[in-house]
C-alpha cells in the first residue's frame, strides 16, 4: 500500500514555545561545544556551503538527470552517532542533493513533513541522488524504502557509534534529555514522542523495569542507544540488501575504505574529497563510562550483534 501523503510529524508544541526552545538549545550548544562546531553542524559556513552549491549547479547543467530518475538515500540511526560526518562527505559530491534535518522544505521540527513531500522532492530533482537525514524517523525507514513510489529504488544507511562515545557526545549536547524522555515512557506517557513511537510492548516493559527516573543521564542515554539501535534488527533491516550498516568508529579509523564501500553500495563515484574532513586523530575511545550494569549488558550484547552485521555487510559488498 502506498502511503504518500502520510503526515510523519506527529504532535507538536506551540510555535512560540518551539522557537524559544530552539534559541535556548542553540545558545546552550554553542556554549558547551564552541561556536565553530555549532556553525559546522548547522551548515552555516558560507566558505563551504557556497562553493558546494555552485558545484552542484554546474553538475546539473552538464550532467543533470531527467526529473524523476534520482535515487533517494536515507541516512538514519541515532543522533550523535556520526551521521553528520558521513552526510558532510557525501554532500561534497556534486551529484548529491542533500536535505538535512534543518531543511524546512522537507522537515518540520527535525521530523519529515510527509512521505508525499519526500516523494515530490525526489521526483523534481535533477541530481543523481537525493539524500535525506531523517534521524527521528529512523523507525519508518521501511516505509520510505518500500512505499514511496519513486521510479528508482531507494537506499538506506544506518549509522551506529560505540555506546560510550555516543553517550559522551549526547550528554554534552543534550544533558539529561534522553533520561527524562525514558522516565516519561516508564510512567506510561510519551505517546507523542518520536523516541517512543516504535517501542514494542516488551521494550516498554523493559524501560519500566529499569526505572530510568533513578538513573544518571549517562545511563539514560545508553538505554536510548540500545532501544533505537535495536530497531535495526527489529525492523528486519539486517535481512535487506538495500540497507547498509555503517560503524562510525570503523569509518573514522579507515575513512577511505569505508567511504569507498559506501559509494559502491549507493552506486556513486568515490573521490578523496569525500573524506578530506575526517580526522582519524579525532577518534579517541576514552575510558568506559559509569553506566547502570543492567543497561551496560544490554548495550554490550547489541554492540556485538551490530559489529558482526556491519563486518558481514562490508564483506558482502
Instruction: Dig out the grid coordinates for 305 from the structure.
Output: 550483534
Phi, psi dihedrals of residue 112, rounded to the nearest 5°: -60, 140
Q: 109 lies in a domain? A: yes
- As a whole number of angstroms, the distance between CA 213 and CA 223 comes to 12
Q: Is 310 among the domain residues?
A: no
Q: Where are the alpha helices (DSSP H) in 34-149?
A: 35-41, 46-63, 83-91, 115-124, 141-146
Q: Residue 135 is placed in which grid cell? A: 534521524
Residue 316 placed within a domain: no
Residue 273 has which C-alpha cell? 574529497
CA 69 from chain centre, in angstroms, equals 24
**Strand positions, DSSP E, the chain:** 71-77, 96-99, 107-108, 111-112, 129-132, 155-160, 243-247
Q: How many CB atoms lie within 10 A of CB 285?
A: 9
- Rounded CA-CA distance 160/246 in Å is 6
Predicted confidence (pLDDT) per residue in 126-171, tens digit: 999 999 999 999 999 999 999 999 999 999 999 999 999 999 999 9
Average pLDDT of the chain to the nearest whole number: 88
Q: Which pTM does this prediction carry?
A: 0.86
The mean per-residue pLDDT over the stretch 54-62 comes to 92
Quick check: helix, strand or coil at residue 27?
helix
pLDDT (tens digit, 9 = 90+) per residue, 110-128? 999 999 999 999 999 999 9
205 inside domain? no
pLDDT of 16 reads 52
Rounded to the nearest 10 degrees, the angle between the axes of helix 177-186 and helix 217-234 is 70
Please state the domain count of the chain: 1
The three three-digit cell numbers of residue 192, written as one number: 507523542
Domain assignment present for residue 55? The answer is yes
**Domain range for residue 79?**
15-168+241-285
* C-alpha–C-alpha distance, residues 217 and 174, integer Å: 10
Q: Tell me whether residue 295 is in a domain.
A: no
Antiparallel, parallel or unpaired: β 96-99 and 155-160:
unpaired
Number of H helices, E strands in the chain: 13, 7
State the CATH number of the domain containing residue 265: 3.40.50
Q: Is residue 145 part of a domain?
A: yes
Give rounded-to-5 percent helix, strand, coil for the chain.
55, 10, 35
Q: Is residue 197 situated within a structural domain?
A: no
* Ramachandran bin of 210, using left for φ above 0, alpha for ψ from -120 to 50, beta for the remaining angles: alpha
Q: Which pLDDT score is estimated for 49? A: 76
Confidence (pLDDT) at 315:
64
Amino acid at each position: 500500500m502506498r502511503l504518500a501523503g502520510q503526515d510523519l510529524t506527529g504532535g507538536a508544541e506551540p510555535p512560540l514555545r518551539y522557537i524559544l526552545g530552539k534559541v535556548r538549545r542553540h545558545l546552550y550548544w554553542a556554549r558547551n561545544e564552541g561556536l565553530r562546531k555549532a556553525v559546522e553542524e548547522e551548515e552555516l559556513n558560507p566558505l563551504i556551503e557556497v562553493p558546494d552549491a555552485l558545484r552542484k549547479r554546474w553538475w546539473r547543467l552538464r550532467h543533470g538527470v531527467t526529473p524523476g530518475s534520482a535515487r533517494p538515500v536515507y541516512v538514519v540511526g541515532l543522533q550523535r552517532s556520526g551521521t553528520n560526518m558521513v552526510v558532510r562527505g557525501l554532500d561534497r559530491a556534486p551529484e548529491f542533493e542533500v536535505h538535512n534535518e534543518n531543511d524546512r522544505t522537507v522537515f518540520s521540527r527535525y521530523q519529515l513533513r510527509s512521505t508525499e513531500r519526500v516523494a515530490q522532492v525526489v521526483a523534481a530533482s535533477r541530481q543523481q541522488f537525493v539524500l535525506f537525514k531523517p534521524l527521528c524517523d529512523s523507525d519508518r525507514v521501511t516505509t520510505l524504502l518500500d512505499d514511496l513510489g519513486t521510479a528508482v529504488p531507494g537506499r538506506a544507511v544506518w549509522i551506529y557509534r560505540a555506546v560510550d562515545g555516543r553517550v559522551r557526545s549526547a550528554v554534552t549536547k543534550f544533558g539529561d534529555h534522553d533520561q527524562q524522555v525514558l522516565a516519561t515512557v516508564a510512567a506510561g506517557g510519551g505517546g507523542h514522542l518520536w523516541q517512543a513511537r516504535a517501542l514494542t510492548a516488551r521494550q516498554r516493559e523493559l524501560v519500566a523495569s529499569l526505572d530510568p527516573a533513578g538513573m544518571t543521564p549517562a545511563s539514560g542515554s545508553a538505554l536510548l542507544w540500545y532501544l533505537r539501535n535495536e530497531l535495526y534488527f527489529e525492523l528486519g533491516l539486517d535481512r535487506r540488501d538495500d540497507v547498509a550498516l555503517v560503524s562510525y568508529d570503523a569509518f573514522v579509523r579507515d575513512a577511505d575504505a569505508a567511504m569507498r564501500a559506501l559509494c559502491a553500495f549507493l552506486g556513486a563515484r568515490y573521490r578523496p574529497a569525500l573524506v578530506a574532513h575526517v580526522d582519524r586523530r579525532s577518534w579517541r575511545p576514552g575510558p568506559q563510562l559509569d553506566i547502570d550494569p543492567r543497561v551496560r549488558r544490554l548495550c554490550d550484547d547489541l554492540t556485538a550483534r551490530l559489529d558482526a552485521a556491519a563486518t558481514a555487510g562490508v564483506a558482502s559488498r
